[in-house]
Structure 1
Amino acid sequence: MADLQSLQDLAVISTENAAPVHVQKLDAQGRAYATGKRKNAIARVWIKPGTGKITVNGKEYRGYFARPVLQMLVQQPIGVASRTDQYDINATVAGGGLSGQAGALRHGISKALTYYEPELRTVLKKGGFLTRDSRVVERKKYGHAKARRSFQFSKR
């Protein structure tokens, strides 16, 4: 009887230590949805199989993000996963500036890719695309001109 109990304990321990199994998460239309965040920007991203078209707030992403650096930022997770021209991406971004929105979109695309293809998780995790960049603007303190800048000091 004690042997049976120890076997059950081993079974419980082995299932607790097992790696989590990631499954595909799709909605009724066959799309993967994810939310990406960066600074004060939030991106809501939907991914479905297609021709590689990226739409941001109803515009083509090259028209929305005019700077080449921001366009490169948006394309990074797709390039690392080598899934160029395989998925249509539709996104809405709000809050913050263009740089924060591009970062939020990159985070959202990465998460949505892992929901559509769970085996891409290791590649994207290694590239650091699934980690939310938690750096935000430091708040202004009283008695200071800005967050850390003091007012000019005069002896006389």
Structure 2
Amino acid sequence: MQDREYITVLIQSLEKKKAILDIIIDKNKEQGVLFANEDSDPDRLEENIQEKNDLINQLGKLDDGFQQIYDRIKLVLQQQKESYQEEIRMMKQLITEVTDRSATVQAQEQRNRDLALKRFSSVKGNIRQARASNQVASQYYKSMSKLNVVDSQFMDKKK
């Protein structure tokens, strides 16, 4: 491969990473809605998390590939800055956009984490309340069943 082809692959890798981060941003928005809505479908939430996990794995592969190619061409880029000035400018711009999107994703993840904790504590409280209600109902039925029991009685036939 020629140096210019390597640079093209680096640019394409950054563009793919940017596109994947855009999808992750959308998935995070959806996840935020799912966490905020108490009536949301848990299966949809699980599906959303799995989709995000797959996208994150793709990002990892892109990062690894980018780093390998960059390591091969790093010296050429440093020594021939003038020859590849436009490509370097384009990569810097893409890296800035990727970094901005990464910061957005991190902020969304923190908000979603807070929403998830709030939702889980709410669910935990509902479970605790349901258990207490069941326990009260059980005690009530036990108490009521004791009221209907007539103790054995002895009649004194002497008079």
Give the TM-score taking structure 2 as reference length: 0.26
Please identify the structure whose Cα radius of gyration is greater: 2
Structure whose residues are more often helix by fraction: 2
Give the TM-score taking structure 1 as reference length: 0.26
Structure whose residues are more often strand by fraction: 1
